Amino acid sequence: MAQRADHNLMLHQNLLFRQSNTGEYQIVVPGAIVRPLVEETHRIYGHCGTYKTFKLLQQNHQFKNMYQTIKGIIKVCDLCQKAKISNLTARGTNVKPNPGKTKRNDIGRSHGALTEGTRRV
Ligand SMILES: [Zn+2]
């Protein structure tokens, strides 16, 4: 593990900063706080997508595999997952296959399937 001398690094109040190509110092985010940082940014900006979160963080922060890490964290966001599910449900209710053509036997069968499914969950 050879450490390359990096003259763009600066330690300030126990935080490591690295000078970017544009000359501005960015925080080198310690691994332990990458997740909370990404989660908070994602939440504060209204559960924005991976790209926007990445762009926001990129302005002042650096960490390893930035885009992939952000993508992985947002992918498992609770609220975004639920939003996705409700979107699918809303879309599903618009689909009305053969309205008024349902036979009594069909109702009985689908009701049974629903009860069975509920019990399993
Ligand atoms: Zn989210």
22-43 pLDDT, tens per residue? 888 999 999 999 999 999 999 9
> Which helix or strand (DSSP H or E) is residue 42 part of?
helix 31-44
User: What pTM does this model have?
Assistant: 0.63
The pLDDT assigned to 113 comes to: 47
Nearby residues for ligand 1 (ion, Cβ within 5 Å) = 47, 77, 79-80
pLDDT of residue 83: 83
DSSP assignment of 64-118 equals TTHHHHHHHHHHT-HHHHHHHHHHHHHHHHT--SSTT---HHHHHHHHHHHHHHH
Residue 37 alpha carbon to ligand 1 centre in Å: 13
58-113 pLDDT, tens digit each: 999 999 999 999 999 999 999 999 887 666 655 555 555 565 655 555 555 555 44
